[in-house]
């Protein structure tokens, strides 16, 4: 959605590097402000892809960078009857394919890995797990501190939480200052009603401070940097409002299809998979007011205010505000890929959307009248996540008789992936006797002049769980407010009589359905 350059933009944009102090830090200096408590990390669903691909590599990386406490245990649980050695061997195989393999470190790390077969629907199995943990913790003291990470299908969240509670694994030892925490991956329900039901299931045995609803987008360094950029720099916050900003564009494009997640994706689609969580969080960080202090609950209060300010969506006449699409066969990365309906496990007549573009408004003092364009889709031309802030054009065209062309407005782009950078475009005069303007770009690479440790999203999220820091996790009121906005849209889209006609096809490897153009037919809008 980059606007084309007008005629006065002659020549390529000038890249102006931003210098910064050379930061050379100790390997563990930026990992945590204080050491985390000793703890046991119990992964339910340890035989699944998430554990081998993300969780164990993240924990091993933290261990190598001294981000784990001195005393810790990692216990994998699953239906498969593995032994400790089988679990360790499988995890070693997964980590060998990633960066940072260190045999010596693995040997000392892997002796803290254990495995326990578990039936998620059997209370006795959880009672056995409780006894197993107690026995382990007598040899490796963790003071009763436990994290239960539910790397499970969402349908098992409620039963797992219930059985953890019945086995008294959710209890916190207040006298010994021991704690118990439960971590859930999105989705947090499939609509407002199911999200409330899930919360009720959790709250029967866990209190809100024990619940960590993870959204790995929030743990990305460049996403965290949005608040620092906005509120630690006095030159931007005064113009971060309706007086100076024309529109905001937030997009998260993916090249990948559904991979092996057809069962999940068929029942969710792009609105549940991306908009209810990731896209809403990016919106909140971009639009929220500054909290009085940088503390988890105060930051989450301001996010909730953004969700509360969302204008109710025009569900009975949404053609000008929402476009849904589904990818057809095409070429991605130079190779042919099948249509969504041809993917394994997908209904050949599926009406599940894989692309959505939406225009939303916030009814508050700061953003009244400023449209937010939010889009995300699978099998697009390239993987790209960014937030573009388009400023208004200059109020008076004093150069109109000189240039004979409109002047490009300033544009700020917060790049999240693949380029982790901040760019700002502005106008300057070309050298020479003739008055000609050109667009130049001030460009900051996020990792420029930094040589310290870099945490990936799961490393940061796991570290925050151990520290008990909720800053980057969803709070239930935010979950419900987000679903309250999206559920009427989902109901309207999934029950309308012409649902198939409103689902537009786009070729894999393209920019999405061409019908998305109609969202951008206003004076204040990006080009698709």
Catalytic residues: 278
**312 CB neighbour count, 10 Å cutoff:** 11
Measured in Å, how far apart are the chain's first and last C-alpha atoms? Answer: 4
Q: 184 by DSSP, 3-state: which?
A: strand
Which residue is it, tokens 């699953």? 78
441 burial via Cβ count (<10 Å: 0-12, 13-18, 19+) = middle
DSSP character string of 418-486: SS-EEEEEEEEEPSSSS--EEEEEEEEETTTTB-S----HHHHHHHHHHHT--TTEE-HHHHHHHHHHH
In this structure, what token pair is assigned to residue 115?
Answer: 């495995």
Which is nearest to 424 in space by CA: 439, 438, 408, 413? Answer: 413
In this structure, what token pair is assigned to residue 127?
Answer: 């009672």
Task: Check: CB of residue 343 under 8 Å from CB of residue 337.
Answer: no
DSSP H helical ranges for 77-191: 84-96, 103-110, 123-139, 157-166
CB neighbour burial string for 60-99, b if at least 16 within 10 angstroms, e if fewer: bbbbbbbbbbebbbbbbbbeeebeeeebbebbbebbeeee
How far is residue 456's CA from residue 221's CA, in Å, rounded to a whole number?
8
Q: 216 by DSSP, 3-state: which?
A: helix
Which residue is it, tokens 């040589």? 451
Strand partners, 214: 185, 473
How far is residue 466's CA from residue 212's CA, in Å, rounded to a whole number?
11
486 burial via Cβ count (<10 Å: 0-12, 13-18, 19+) = buried
């Amino acid at each position: 959605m980059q606007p084309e350059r007008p005629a006065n933009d002659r020549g390529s944009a000038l890249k102006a590097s931003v210098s910064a102090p050379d930061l050379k830090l100790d390997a563990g200096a930026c990992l945590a402000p204080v050491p985390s408590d000793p703890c046991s990390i119990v992964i339910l669903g340890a035989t699944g892809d998430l554990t081998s691909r993300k969780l164990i590599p993240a924990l091993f990386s933290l261990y190598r960078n001294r981000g784990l406490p001195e005393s810790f245990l990692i216990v994998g649980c699953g239906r498969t009857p593995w032994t400790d050695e089988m679990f360790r061997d499988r995890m070693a195989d997964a980590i060998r394919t990633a960066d940072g393999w260190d045999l010596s470190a693995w040997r000392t790390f892997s002796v803290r890995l254990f495995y326990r077969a578990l039936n998620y629907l059997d209370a006795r199995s959880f009672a056995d797990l409780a006894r197993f943990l107690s026995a382990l913790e007598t040899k490796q003291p963790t003071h009763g501190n436990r994290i239960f990470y539910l790397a499970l299908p969402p349908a098992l969240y409620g039963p797992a939480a219930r059985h953890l509670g019945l086995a008294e694994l959710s209890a916190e030892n207040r006298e010994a200052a021991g704690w118990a925490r439960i971590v859930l991956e999105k989705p947090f329900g499939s609509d407002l009603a199911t999200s409330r039901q899930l919360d009720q299931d959790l709250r029967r045995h866990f209190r809100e401070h024990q619940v960590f609803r993870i959204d790995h987008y929030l743990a990305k360094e460049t996403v965290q940097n949005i608040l620092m950029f906005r509120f630690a720099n006095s030159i931007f916050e005064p113009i971060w409002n309706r007086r100076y900003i024309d529109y905001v564009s937030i997009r998260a494009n993916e090249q990948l299809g559904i991979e092996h997640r057809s069962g999940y994706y068929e029942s969710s689609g792009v609105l549940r998979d991306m908009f209810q969580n990731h896209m809403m969080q990016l919106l909140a960080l971009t639009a929220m007011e500054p909290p009085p202090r940088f503390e988890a609950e105060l930051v989450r209060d301001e996010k909730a205010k953004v969700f509360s300010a969302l204008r109710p969506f025009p569900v009975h006449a949404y053609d000008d505000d929402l476009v849904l699409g589904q990818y057809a066969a095409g070429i991605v990365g130079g190779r042919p890929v099948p249509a969504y309906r041809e993917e394994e496990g997908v209904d050949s007549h599926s009406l599940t959307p894989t692309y959505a573009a939406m225009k939303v408004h916030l009814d508050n003092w700061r953003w009244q009248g400023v449209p937010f364009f939010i889009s995300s889709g699978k099998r697009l031309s390239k993987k790209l996540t960014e937030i573009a802030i388009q400023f208004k054009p200059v109020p008076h065209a004093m150069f109109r008789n000189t240039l004979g062309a409109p002047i490009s407005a300033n544009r700020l782009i917060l790049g999240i992936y693949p380029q982790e950078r901040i760019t700002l475009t502005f106008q300057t005069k070309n050298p020479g006797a003739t008055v000609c303007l050109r667009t130049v770009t001030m460009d900051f690479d996020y990792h420029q002049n930094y040589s310290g440790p870099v945490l990936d999203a799961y490393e940061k999220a796991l570290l925050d769980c151990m520290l008990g820091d909720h800053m980057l996790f969803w709070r239930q009121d935010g979950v419900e407010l987000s679903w309250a906005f999206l559920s009427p849209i989902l109901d309207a889209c999934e029950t309308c009589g012409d649902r198939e006609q409103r689902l537009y096809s786009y070729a894999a490897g393209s920019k999405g359905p061409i019908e998305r153009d109609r969202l951008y037919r206003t004076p204040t809008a990006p080009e698709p």
